Amino acid sequence: MPRDINRKDIIPRALAAIGLLATVVWVFWFQKGELGYRIYGKGGVQYVAAGTTPIALLLSVFGIVLVFLLMRPELRVRDFQISPLWRRYAAFLIDFWFCLFVFANVTTMLPLLLEAGRTGSFQWHFERDYSVPADWAIVALLLVGTAAMAAYFVLPLANRRRTVGFWVLRIATVSTGGMVLTLPLSVAFRRAYIEFTELFSPSTVWKVMKGKDAEGQTAHDREAGFMVVRY
């Protein structure tokens, strides 16, 4: 059932924002081991590494639960105003980090389990300077990760739902009449792609840096009849 969104969710949003910020601080300043997985070449040698921690895995599970909770109710917006572009940038950065952290730590369990089956001992991290047939899983996960990230942005837009970043910052994509959009998947995908490329184009970034984003709309917003609003 649709429901009106009000300010009673300010505490969950604040906790989610603090939690996301804490993961950034933890990963870049305190976490010593590898998080996620990678295959890279150096000096003619192919290296394979993967790793996570119980805490990172638990936090990622909480993130998945949050996504499912946000995908349950339809979004309706009453009073709103055009969102400034900086707020949309912040939402995209939150969503990008959220996707990267959650997906990397959850799916890292697959190469870790395959490595445990090969060596006979489970470890939360491994790194080696040679490849094995089971490394196909890492390549497959990289492809699946790209598709999963696209779905994360497209499905909420197509179904009147919110991403974590849009929920934390209380913004939504609506029509010029103020109705929250329900778009066909193809249109939602095109919208997400064009919005991303336009927002991160040098001209738009420069405009925001110079403080000239008072209108809060991109060219595609105006052409397609969309508005990104804060409510």
Tell me the mean pLDDT per 10 residues along the chain, length 231.
57 93 92 85 88 94 94 83 90 95 94 94 93 88 91 93 94 83 88 90 80 73 87 85
The whole-angstrom separation of Cα 228 and Cα 125 is 42
Spatial contact of 186 and 147, defined as CB atoms under 8 Å apart? no
- The DSSP line for 40-107 is EEETTEEEEEEE--HHHHHHHHHHHHHHHHHTSSPEE--S-EEPPHHHHHHHHHHHHHHHHHHHHHHH
Output the pLDDT for position 58. 95
- What tokens does 68 get? 């499912």
Output the pLDDT for position 214. 58
pTM of the model: 0.87
The whole-angstrom separation of Cα 213 and Cα 204 is 9
Question: Helix or strand or coil: residue 10?
Answer: helix
Mind listing the pLDDT tens digit for each residue in 149-189?
999 999 999 998 999 999 999 999 988 777 887 889 999 99
69: Cα within 13 Å, side-chain hemisphere: 12
The whole-angstrom separation of Cα 231 and Cα 6 is 8
Q: How many domains does the chain have?
A: 1
Structural domain that includes position 128: 3-230
**Matching residue, tokens 């969950």:** 12
Mind listing the pLDDT tens digit for each residue in 19-43?
999 999 999 988 887 789 988 888 8
Output the pLDDT for position 31. 83
**54-81 burial, b for 16+ CB within 10 Å, e for fewer?**
eebeebbeebeebbeebeeeebebeebe
The whole-angstrom separation of Cα 145 and Cα 12 is 27
